[in-house]
Amino acid sequence: MPGPLLGGRYRLLGPLGEGGMAVVHRGRDELLDRDVAIKVLRDQFASDPDFVRRFQQEARNAASLAHPNIAPIFDTGVDGAVEYIVMQLVDGPNLEAVLAERGRLPLAEALRIAVATAEALAAAHARGIVHRDIKPGNILLTRGGEVRVVDFGIARALGDSNTTNPGLLLGSVQYCSPEQVLGELVGPQSDIFSLGAVLHELLTGERPWDGPSAAGVALARLHDAPTPPSQIVPDLPEGIDGIVARALARHPAERYPSAMAMADAIREWWRGYRQAGVAADPRRATGRRRSGATGALPVAAGAVVGGVVAATGSLSTQTIAADRLPPSAGMASAGTMVRPSPLPRAGGPPPLDRGPDAGVRDDDRRRRRAAVPLWLLPLGAALLLLVAVLGLVGRLGLPGAGILGTTAPPQATASLAAIASLEASPSPAPDATPTPTPTPTPTPTPDPTPSPEPTPTPLPEPTAP
């Protein structure tokens, strides 16, 4: 049964999911005849000016952002006491539902999602907006497996000190940064920390800090370093630990300087990992194989939990150099399994288990192996000079001309072949220099001199009688 009509235009069709402040409904834009998602502020908060202001701020924040990995806002309004936000809709799961259904994700898939999320955050930070609640529930996937970041409900515009009371913890305790726990000023590095916590969970299936009480979980990040992912999942490469550890650094200054820097670091590491010889299955480097290691992301469309995502747009990771793969085909209908794009495939930095300058050393070694030994250079020049002199002798008709005859070009070819054979020899052999002999060339015979063609004898002219 159709629900109420908001603003004379948006028909509520049923709830999709809910959060702490609002309920998300499937809706219909009757003016433009399209399906939408409608986020409605809960009744108990609609009379609180602070919550209303925060809800309206979410609409303004998200509407100011244009990025393929951020769910766009279409409209916002008030109908009586009902505050609502209209956004683009696609049925698809959030990462919380995916993790609950599947557990940890394959390496390539986890990194692809992290890169796309980091790029979405970079776009928000460039507009001066900090999300402050990055968690699996706010990272959603379209039917094609593309990432959409949603819920800017507690986002803060940089420089706006009136939105949050000092000491108030906003954000999910399992993913919020130490500065949020302490009620300190937040910034872009706070979102980077939260994304690091999400990446840790995608890789391992476990949160970096967890426990029975929210207070204990919140305080644990102030004193305890998280367990490296490769110690939880032994077949993960150790190189990924450094990326997660830097994002989860205790102090903001020790984290990545920007969300885009984190995305770049992941891409760079992945290119090096691929270049190290890991084929489609990244676990091959450890000698163990697991199915699904290339990063296909099958999830049921019906597994959506509070999931509202944009229907169009492309993976932001496709905008990076030439090492990205195209997104996989989307689902034809609900319940079909999703297969999202794998991570970039390309060459890049050196292998994972060596230093950052290993690629330079490899290039030097390759150049040294490809270089011609210096002692071959004067020998080659002498051979070429000999060929030129002998050719000149032949053209001038001097003694020895019959040796070369018209075969100077083949002699030059033979000389170059001799250089090539010497290049593979450990030392020059005395007989490497070709000596002129009559064997390779034809001996002087009448053949070079064209024999005169018989000339017809003219008939005698008739004489006059």
Catalytic machinery residues: 133
- CA angle in degrees (0–180, nearest 5) for 72-94-2: 65
**CB atoms closer than 10 angstroms to residue 358:** 16
What's the token pair of residue 378?
């004067």
> Can you tell me the distance from the alpha carbon of 61 to that of 73, in angstroms, rounded to the nearest whole number?
9
- Is residue 48 within 8 A of residue 293, CB to CB? The reply is no
> Can you tell me the distance from the alpha carbon of 309 to that of 93, in angstroms, rounded to the nearest whole number?
9
Could you list the beta-strand ranges (E) of 150-276.
156-157
> Can you tell me the distance from the alpha carbon of 59 to that of 247, in angstroms, rounded to the nearest whole number?
28
Categorise residue 132: left if φ over 0, alpha if ψ from -120 to 50, beta otherwise. left
**CB atoms closer than 10 angstroms to residue 396:** 9
> Can you tell me the distance from the alpha carbon of 400 to that of 394, in angstroms, rounded to the nearest whole number?
7
What's the token pair of residue 163?
């939105």
Report helix, strand and coil shares of the chain as percent, to nearest 5: 40, 10, 50
- Is residue 38 within 8 A of residue 25, CB to CB? The reply is yes
327: nearest Cα among 297, 302, 300: 297
Q: Which residue has the tokens 């019959």?
A: 402
- Is residue 16 within 8 A of residue 307, CB to CB? The reply is yes
> Can you tell me the distance from the alpha carbon of 111 to that of 323, in angstroms, rounded to the nearest whole number?
14
Residue 83's H or E segment, with its range, is strand 82-88
Residue partners of 427: CB distance under 8 A and separation at least 6: none
